[in-house]
Amino acid sequence: MKKNNKLMITVHDSELKFILYGRKESNGKLIGSLPVKDDYSPEEFSSIIPDEAKKIKNPLLVMPDYVSGNETYPFTTGKKSIASAFIKRKLLESFPSATDAADFYNYTYFKSGQQSGSLYAFYLHDPLAFNLYNNLKDAGMRPERITVPAFIWQHKICKLFEEASSENICLIHALPEECYLYFFVNGNYLFSRSIMLPGSEEAGSEKLNILAFEISQSLRLFSQKAKSEVNRFFLVSSAKMKESDLSEKIGKNIIRLDNDRKEIIEATEEDFMPAPLSVFSLSDIDQKTAPAISHRLVMTEKAWHSVIRTGIITGALLVFLLGLETFYLNYISGGYSSPGKAALSNDMTTRRQVIGKCNDILDLIINEKQRPDPASILGGIAVSLPKSIAPEELTFNLESPYQVVINGRVRTDDPSGIRPDLLAMVESLSRNLRLSKPAAIGDIVFDTKQGGDDTGSAGYKFHIMLDLK
pLDDT tops 50 at residue 391: yes
Most confident range, picked from 240-249, 332-341, 391-400, 452-461? 240-249
The stretch 59-71 carries a mean pLDDT of: 96
pLDDT tops 90 at residue 48: yes
What percent of the chain clears pLDDT 70, i.e. is strictly above it?
A: 79
Which phi and psi (to 5°) does residue 190 adopt?
A: -110, -55
**C-alpha to C-alpha distance for 311 and 293, rounded to whole angstroms:** 27
The strand pair at 232-237 and 169-174 is best described as: parallel
pLDDT at res. 265: 40
Mean pLDDT of the chain: 82
* C-alpha torsion sign, points 453, 455, 456, 462: positive
The stretch 84-95 carries a mean pLDDT of: 91
pLDDT band (50, 70, 90) for residue 34: very high
The stretch 401-411 carries a mean pLDDT of: 87
pLDDT tops 90 at residue 117: no
**C-alpha to C-alpha distance for 466 and 395, rounded to whole angstroms:** 10
Q: Which residue has the higher pLDDT, 203 or 42?
A: 42
pLDDT (tens digit per residue) in 338-365: 555 566 566 667 766 666 666 666 666 6
Q: Which residue has the higher pLDDT, 333 or 398?
A: 398
pLDDT at res. 298: 87
pLDDT at res. 238: 67
pLDDT tops 70 at residue 456: no
C-alpha distances (whole Å) from 398 to each of 261, 303, 372, 374 are 54, 21, 7, 8
pLDDT (tens digit per residue) in 237-282: 865 788 888 999 999 999 998 765 544 444 444 568 898 998 898 8
Among 11-20, 182-191, 247-256, 375-384, which is the least confidently predicted range? Answer: 375-384
Q: How long is the chain?
A: 469
pLDDT at res. 268: 44
**C-alpha to C-alpha distance for 213 and 434, rounded to whole angstroms:** 52
**C-alpha to C-alpha distance for 381 and 85, rounded to whole angstroms:** 10
- Burial of 336-374, coded b for 16+ CB within 10 Å and e otherwise, reads eeeeeeeeeeeeeeeeeeeeeeeeeebeeeeeeeeebbe
- Is pTM beyond 0.85? Reply is no
